[in-house]
Amino acid sequence: MTPQTRSDALRTSDYDYELPEPLIAQTPIETARPFPPHVSVPRRRQHTTSPLLRLAGVLRPGDVMVFNDSRVMPARLRGNAQYRGGAIELLLLSRISPGVWRAIGRPDGFCARCRIRDYGQRRFDSGEVLEIEPEGERIIRLDGEERLHDVGEVPLPPYITETLADSERYQTVYAREEGSAAAPTAGLHFTDELLERVRAMGVQTIFVTLHVGWGTFRPVKTDDPTEHTMHSEYWELSSEAADAIRSAKADGRRVISVGTTAVRLLADNLPQAGSGWADIFITPGYRFKVVDALITNFHLPRSTLLMLVSALADRGTIMRAYTEAVEQRYRFYSFGDAMFIH
């Protein structure tokens, strides 16, 4: 889908910035999920810095916080090509039908109709690449997919090069419905303790499901964002969650999205219960109809997510906040610090 309500002046290069490599967080902070710093960004006003623990100080009784409860699949498979030989790696993106998946693979030249064998150290039966799509994704058949949890690994983003000792640290504490290739990382800041503290304030917490695809990490390679193709992501919304959001909007109460994934699910109109596929590309100029505020991590340069947060605030405000975060040596990306746009 093309960007929504795009300004003619919008250019991808306007959403580039320099980030020192040491600021890319490689692991979670290892003190039982502490409350890290965050940048508080009132829209079009001066931003401030404080611990995320003080988030409760800017919430209001009656606010509705929306969390994405998708759980990351053990979607990374390692093995060998049967005919060509050599190591290959597959990342499962989404399940099309029993035994058939959309995936990306390394090496990129791994051929259509090639057989696959010996995933990891334990045999994963076999598989076959059925088709290579124009953008390089593969449609693959896996024999024995029921053993995915035995041989698959939870994938980490490509900018994380260190091994994660406990794969549960790349899951939110409320993760439930398995299906994502990447975590909805804004939720990684929340502990059971912080959730209870928020609820005790009279803030309602509700859960939606949007399975995060690997495309969330894809940079926009063209300077005209309308030429960028968004990948679809599957979502589900319960009647309870839809009713709570509609009630909040009718009462004039705030809807606060924890992460950009929930924003994409709620972007268009007042939500109705159901399921489907989301491929919306939100850019500056978009008018938000449901989401009033957002908790989100710091995003990659030239990314669709950086454009999304700039639509909720504005580009100047967001880029100034990023500049301050670099100067203050904040931790960036999935295991990094956060901002609260309100």
Give the CATH number for residue 106: 2.40.10.240
Same domain, 113 and 169: no
Quick one: how many helices (H) and strands (E) in the chain? 6, 19
Same domain, 37 and 87: no
Position with higher pLDDT, 251 vs 47: 251
Write down the pLDDT at residue 30: 60
Please name every residue paired with 71 in a beta bridge, in sequence order, or none if there are none.
178
**How far apart are alpha carbons 306 and 297 in whole angstroms?**
10
Please give the C-alpha separations between residue 39 and each of 21, 295, 302, 309, 342, in angstroms, as whole numbers. 20, 10, 20, 13, 11
| Spatial contact of 256 and 295, defined as CB atoms under 8 Å apart | yes
- Non-local CB neighbours of 42 within 8 Å, separated by 6+ positions: 342
Asked whether residue 119 is domain-assigned, the answer is yes
The domain containing residue 197 runs over which residues?
3-72+164-341
**How far apart are alpha carbons 248 and 316 in whole angstroms?**
30
For the segment 223-272, what is each residue's pLDDT rounded down to a tens digit? 998 888 888 889 999 999 999 999 999 999 999 999 999 999 998 778 88
Same domain, 43 and 111: no
For the segment 194-226, what is each residue's pLDDT rounded down to a tens digit? 899 899 999 999 999 999 987 776 788 889 988
Q: Residue 111, Cβ neighbours under 10 Å: how many?
A: 12
- Non-local CB neighbours of 21 within 8 Å, separated by 6+ positions: none
Write down the pLDDT at residue 303: 93
Please give the C-alpha separations between residue 261 and each of 1, 129, 321, in angstroms, as whole numbers. 16, 30, 21
Asked whether residue 158 is domain-assigned, the answer is no
Same domain, 168 and 195: yes
Same domain, 146 and 23: no
Write down the pLDDT at residue 35: 44
Give how many domains the chain has, as a whole number: 2
Same domain, 330 and 263: yes
- Tokens 């109705």, residue? 272
**How far apart are alpha carbons 28 and 163 in whole angstroms?**
11
Amino acid at 115: R
Rounded to the nearest integer, the mean pLDDT of the chain is 83
For the segment 139-196, what is each residue's pLDDT rounded down to a tens digit? 888 877 887 888 788 999 888 988 888 889 999 999 998 999 999 999 998 989 889 9
For the segment 75-89, the average pLDDT, to the nearest whole number, is: 68
Write down the pLDDT at residue 39: 62
- Domain boundary (88, 117, 151) is at 151
Q: Are strands 37-41 and 48-51 parallel, antiparallel or unpaired?
A: antiparallel
Q: N- to C-terminal Cα distance for the chain?
A: 27
Same domain, 263 and 315: yes
Write down the pLDDT at residue 11: 93
Same domain, 139 and 176: no
Same domain, 65 and 84: no
Asked whether residue 113 is domain-assigned, the answer is yes
Q: What CATH number corresponds to the domain at position 247?
A: 3.40.1780.10
Rounded to two decimals, what is the model's pTM?
0.87
**Res 32 pLDDT > 60:** no
Same domain, 89 and 25: no
**Res 33 pLDDT > 70:** no
Same domain, 225 and 291: yes
**Res 15 pLDDT > 80:** yes
